[in-house]
Amino acid sequence: MLAGPGNQNTVWTADKSCCLVRPYDETWYVYHRVSGETHILNFLSYEIFEILCDTPLKSSELAQTVWRALDLTEEDCPLSLIDHTLNDMDNVGLISPLDHSYKCA
């Protein structure tokens, strides 16, 4: 948790076993068992979370995967937005750099 800002070489990951997820309307409520906090994710944040639960990726690789999954272009969702979202999600402990990761289960 809170590993600090990543860079272009940071490989990000997430562990879904640390969380309880409940969709509601167009948002997802994610209860993080380690911190005891509940986070509300929009479609972009949740897609990033889901992808990183399956496959650790660098932000540039993640961006390509997100754009394909959500049928977006880089103009629709710039890499800077993805990087900002990654840092926000790292700050609250939902994701972490692969070399700082931990397993809940």
Q: Is residue 91 part of a domain?
A: yes
pLDDT, tens digit (0-9, with 9 covering 90-100), for 4-22: 556 778 999 999 999 999 9
| pLDDT at residue 3 greater than cutoff 60 | no
Number of domains in the chain: 1
CATH number at residue 76: 3.90.930
SS3 89: helix
- CB of 96 within 8 A of CB of 1? yes
Give the tens place of pLDDT for each residue, 18-54. Answer: 999 999 999 999 999 988 999 999 999 999 999 999 9
Could you tell me if residue 89 is inside a domain? yes
Sheet holding 96-97, edge to edge: 57-58, 11-13, 96-97
For the entire predicted model, the pTM comes to 0.89
Residue-level pLDDT at 4: 52
Kindly state whether residue 4 falls inside one of the protein's structural domains: no
User: Which structural domain, as residue segments, surrounds residue 74?
Assistant: 13-100
**Residue 68 vs residues 15, 37, 77: alpha-carbon distances, Å:** 22, 30, 11
